[in-house]
Structure 1
Amino acid sequence: MVADEPFSVDLNKPLVFQVGHLGEAYEEWVHQPIVGRDSPRFFANGFMEFLTRTKWWVIPLVWLPVVCWSVSKSVKMGLSPYLAGLIVFLGIITWTLLEYFLHRYLFHIKTKSYWGNTFHYLIHGCHHKHPMDGLRLVFPPAGAALVSLALWNLIDVLTKPFITPALYGGILLGYVMYDVTHYYTHHGKPSKGIILRLKRFHMNHHFRIRDKGFGISSSLWDIVFGTLPPAKAAKA
């Protein structure tokens, strides 16, 4: 009896419902990047496909007004502008910690089941397989809206009513900074400074040492938790 041949992904067909069949081979496959700027098709359904593609500028366009509304709501409820600014800053720092833990422990979870592979590919694996896909570098607003609603409810339970909007706005502002920075680390060409350093760290994460460099908008928590990669970047 001839053993079954290993499953092979057809890159010319919608990818999402194929990758689950890779089983244990998924981990190795998804971390062999295809560096071209093409945007592969995910779904046969046109509407589902549309929801997976997002221009980078949509993120600030959609979410910065929500940030402003949230912070102004706290001020209208009696929070001083000084304290509102302090809470917004705290929110940004909180986001950088969330960003680190999400990237390290959720986005890099190891899977081998059909649905585990499919879920991982959708949330992050696709980014490692096609790191230069400019339409899938930022989080689609439809998905982000669901997460942000859950985040608002969690903050509302943990804080006083006049603090909730400002803290939510700060975390959301941190997210916007993260998504825009992430896009720029892939497609921008910084010549010096912090952004160049972040780009080097992130390119190392993609092409050399994927178990380090989990911070995107800040390397603070990589320093704290000992996952800071070497500064030398590999060529993409």
Structure 2
Amino acid sequence: MANTRHESIRLFENDLLERLSHVHPLTPLVFWGPIATWLLWSGLHSDALSPGVVAMLALAGIATWSLTEYLLHRYLFHFPAKSRFGKWLVFLFHGNHHDDPKDKTRLVMPPAGAIPIMAVLYLLFRAVLPAPWLAVFTAFFIVGYLVYDYIHYATHHFPMRNPVAKHLKHYHLKHHFSGQGGRYGVSSPLWDIVFGTRPAEPPRAGR
């Protein structure tokens, strides 16, 4: 019988670092879910937040994640690095996924990579948001991130027969395989439309 075991691209010589670059698909939910739940619980126990404010913060947190997803993917994960070290960093964070998009242990962000990014973003949020708003906003920002992670996983591993899900799957796979570039949104094409990075669809045959 042929060996069908998937061989991942090795990123680190150190075995511990290499293991940290591989995660089970449930890892982000198990790690970030309790954090988001605690933040939401602590925020909802604040007398300063009315239901209307909570709804506003929920929408703002998810929308901010959606924009962050687009900006990270476009400007960080596809950064046109020139130096050897810069190229290695881009490959480490995202290039390896383009070289091996079916590696299921690298389709969600490992906590080892997500924690520093989330920590920097949290400090930015804390600098601009009033204290009573911070926990709820951050909780829904994390929810947006988790939705993104699992949409990304699903686009590479599930048929996605629901019309919306099917559109997202085809949209993301065109980012990988069309050769057109663009299409940096994964959970939504919104920001590609806003910033003009959604390539025009080629005309269908027979038209």
TM-score w.r.t. length of structure 2: 0.89
Structure 1 residues 144 and 63, CA gap change in structure 2 (3 angstroms):
same
User: How is 1:92-171 mapped onto 2 (pairs within 5 angstroms)?
Assistant: 92-171=62-141
Query: Match for residue 147 of structure 2?
Result: 177
User: How is 1:1-236 mapped onto 2 (pairs within 5 angstroms)?
Assistant: 37-78=6-47, 79-229=49-199
Identity of aligned residues (%): 37
Give, in angstroms, the shift of residue 231 of structure 1.
6.1
Structure 1 letter corresponding to 2:156 = H
Q: Is the 8 A contact 1:201 1:229 kept in 2?
A: no
Structure 2 letter corresponding to 1:129 = D
Give, in angstroms, the shift of residue 195 of structure 1.
1.0
Structure 1 gaps, min length 5: 1-35
Give, in angstroms, the shift of residue 187 of structure 1.
0.7
Query: Match for residue 22 of structure 1?
Result: none
State how far apart, in whole Å, the 1-side matches of 2:151 and 2:201 are: 18
TM-score w.r.t. length of structure 1: 0.78
Query: Match for residue 205 of structure 2?
Result: none
Q: More deviation in 111-120 or 36-45?
A: 36-45
Structure 1 residues 230 and 191, CA gap change in structure 2 (3 angstroms):
farther
Structure 1 residues 37 and 195, CA gap change in structure 2 (3 angstroms):
farther
State how far apart, in whole Å, the 2-side matches of 1:207 and 1:172 are: 29
Q: Deviations over 1:149-198 (max 9, x none)?
A: 22222111101000011111111111111111101111111123111101
Q: Is the 8 A contact 2:36 2:139 kept in 1?
A: yes
Q: Is the 8 A contact 1:71 1:84 kept in 2?
A: no
Number of residues paired by the alignment? 197
Structure 2 gaps, min length 5: 203-207
State how far apart, in whole Å, the 1-side matches of 2:38 and 2:55 are: 14
State how far apart, in whole Å, the 1-side matches of 2:193 and 2:137 are: 25
Structure 1 residues 91 and 51, CA gap change in structure 2 (3 angstroms):
same
Deviation >6 Å, runs of 4+ = none
Structure 1 letter corresponding to 2:31 = V
**Would you tell me which structure has more helix in proportion to its own residues?**
2
Q: Is the 8 A contact 2:104 2:153 kept in 1?
A: yes
CA RMSD of aligned residues (A): 1.8
Q: Is the 8 A contact 1:200 1:231 kept in 2?
A: no
Q: More deviation in 111-120 or 37-46?
A: 37-46
